[in-house]
Structure 1
């Protein structure tokens, strides 16, 4: 063999070749991880990072001026998003998680969640017993009477057997891990106060029950069939929902009814759903006149139809949101709600019959003198592709009529691309400053309200994937052949 007569310099060349092959294989695995889709045993698909990024930028590019995705650096982390600027610049956020409670804005700014309680780590993703939940599960934590700041040990997917009924003074904090609630029931916030939910993915939820469900250590009771909403708020106050991914549930993604108030919905990524947010359930529920809700810094993505939000009675401040698409309308309501829309960016669909942002609904209740008298006002909004907002009521934007609907100072609509660039859960891991973008999840299949099937949020990861056996055989055969040549020298 030619190797028998090889010189020492030839050996060096062959050794270099072997190292190069090893490096090439490592790069091949990494690249495959970026491009490949992973199929889980339950049939859900997690798409490769490259496809997620490509899809994400394709959607953002449909809006003029949306190329201003921010790239954060530790020395330049102030972006104008008041919530994120409050905590993301802290290199030690992981050891000071409860400082997040000081960063809320808007009507829900006083929601402290579990700020004054202990940290609790979810180590068990099961939900087998909803009457006597195990310690270590999410359900055990949320029903406790004392304040708790709930975090997660690792990436976690939880399929809730029945609705997750929370107790007061709780924070669910998914930062640092990919936390998903999918395929089962949703979250219920009923007759309690001070709740923060941050940084988790909620999708593909379905109706469950009736069933016996525990809501505190000392009480459980019979629950009727849930409606498959992601987050349901009943007669609750001081609620903050931030940096969530919400998609493909059966009814509403978020609903707040029964005199709920002091609520902020911020930095969330909504996609692939029919009825997005409902604030106030019935035309007879005049107690909802106390409702005050802030909707800020959210990304309303593709595949959405209506209710962004849909309001009854009450006061609503909708500012600095990015509306990429709606099929019927973006903001709607009835029963004389006061709505102040400020500094939003509205991209109308191509359908000539769906250009209007607003929709006043006649649903059988008191029309309070006709919709022309309802106080709905647009101030500093950006309208694209023929979008338009129909004002009504008071002609003076600075009128005292809008004071109850003003919850924070809006930025100019030209800043919306930057303010909403990180909508949805952050994709960064633990360990200091969150320097990467949120990495907005992509979705597969399904349409709004599909419930049991449809979108699955991805997780930006270049993790190695398994390859075909034939590729492995070829690679190792080449390695063995090279080694035999070197050893024979």
Structure 2
């Protein structure tokens, strides 16, 4: 019976995908055989990455956060810029940050990812590729040594940078799977041009780079793999667009001021972790699920952990549809409208976050539900556990209480209370890494 139900769900997802995909091609002007094949493979990969019992994720992995705080004075107030020895304050950072020889074994980073994206390996099985050229002049025949040339290669690659650089992308950067963009050891900025597109791919890590002042690309003929060139419509201006992709990890990225969203995850994307990032100066921060009519996003499973939602933010941290989102130990110090919202019955589990409401008395509520009457949304599972509410912030809960389950320890990052959040997120955003020193 279980197998029959699973097959029925897969058929339902495929039909939903076929129905909506003519209107949501993510800027593919010609949906040719190459993109059809890539979409079909991605749909298969996404279902393999999906866990059929996501509720169980919310009740494991407590020991990882506890160990990250062991041996350090977790109650110490740390004001201003930290200048002491390396202190890894959360379980992801504890895995790699304080190793002074991090540059000799960069790929050990893949052992550190937790949450729904915990199986992401990026370019671990490939060679290193050193970006030496910050230019982005040729969209059809990218110059070797550029980031665009690196991300379209067939084989897995671990991409690093020869020096600090600002890369202005003339058009969206269309990545192939099994790639890591690793900015450690340099100050790497993708800015003042188009953003990054992860479309029908799996196994991508984006680590320790700045993404800011992203604008929409004009579209045109762009090489999206070694063997394929296609025509693209104008891009939206997202910092990172995740479309029909799985096993994605975004870590220690600083993002601000993009024309559309900072991070969007849509069209059945799943197995994603967004961690240790710093978000500032933006309106619509994160969108998970683009359409109330596309129930294929029911397989979406995303962990949002140890991030700092900082100055100049307005809303969507995140805004969710259909899927399952675990929001754990994040610091929400600024918003103008609301912090977490959604529609179409998503499951949102908020644990151990700190919410500091704005002065506006009309914006104290953390949550916002769209396009549904209370008689409908009261059945959506939106639960708050151990969150610290400050300056009048309040979280409107709904749905059934959380249950006790036994999920994989790597899939759950079980929270510490919200009072720990300032410490857990202290090193969010990009970190300075020099050879021979801890990051």
Q: TM-score range by the shorter chain?
A: 0.7 to 0.9
Q: Does 1:431 align with 2:436?
A: yes
**Conservation of the 8 A alpha-carbon contact between 1:69 and 1:417:** no
Equivalent residue, structure 2, for 1:46 = none
Cα distance in 2, alignment partners of residues 99 and 180 from structure 1: 23
**Conservation of the 8 A alpha-carbon contact between 1:230 and 1:253:** yes
Alignment of 1:249-268 (within 5 A): 249-268=258-277
Q: CA deviation at 1:402?
A: 11
Equivalent residue, structure 1, for 2:316 = 307
Equivalent residue, structure 1, for 2:378 = 372
Alignment of 1:317-396 (within 5 A): 317-362=326-371, 370-394=376-400, 396=401
- TM superposition score normalised by structure 1: 0.72
Cα distance in 2, alignment partners of residues 304 and 154 from structure 1: 31
- Are the structure 2 counterparts of residues 267 and 151 from structure 1 closer, same or farther at C-alpha, using a change threshold of 3 Å? same
Give 3-state SS (helix, strand or coil) of 2:345's partner. coil
Query: Which entry has the higher C-alpha Rg, 1 or 2?
Result: 1
Q: Does 1:408 align with 2:417?
A: no
Cα distance in 2, alignment partners of residues 105 and 72 from structure 1: 27
Give 3-state SS (helix, strand or coil) of 2:150's partner. helix
Q: What per-residue deviation string (whole Å, max 9, x for no partner) do you get for residues 392-425 of structure 1?
A: 011x223569999972211221211111111110
Cα distance in 2, alignment partners of residues 401 and 283 from structure 1: 31
Alignment of 1:97-108 (within 5 A): 97-108=106-117
Among 218, 223, 238, the residue aligned to 1:214: 223
**Conservation of the 8 A alpha-carbon contact between 1:188 and 1:231:** yes
**Conservation of the 8 A alpha-carbon contact between 1:315 and 1:405:** no
Q: What per-residue deviation string (whole Å, max 9, x for no partner) do you get for residues 89-136 of structure 1?
A: 222111100111111010011110011111110000000001100110
State the aligned residue count: 364
Alignment of 1:29-178 (within 5 A): 67=79, 72-73=84-85, 77-79=87-89, 81-178=90-187
Cα distance in 1, alignment partners of residues 234 and 425 from structure 2: 35
Q: What per-residue deviation string (whole Å, max 9, x for no partner) do you get for residues 241-294 of structure 1?
A: 000110001110000000000000000010000000000000011010000000
Cα distance in 1, alignment partners of residues 164 and 236 from structure 2: 27
Q: CA deviation at 1:143?
A: 0.4
Q: CA deviation at 1:176?
A: 1.2
| Structure 2 runs not aligned, ≥5 long | 1-75
Cα distance in 2, alignment partners of residues 69 and 162 from structure 1: 36
Q: What per-residue deviation string (whole Å, max 9, x for no partner) do you get for residues 16-59 of structure 1?
A: xxxxxxxxxxxxxxxxxxxxxxxxxxxxxxxxxxxxxxxxxxxx
Cα distance in 2, alignment partners of residues 216 and 337 from structure 1: 34
- TM superposition score normalised by structure 2: 0.80
Q: CA deviation at 1:431?
A: 2.7
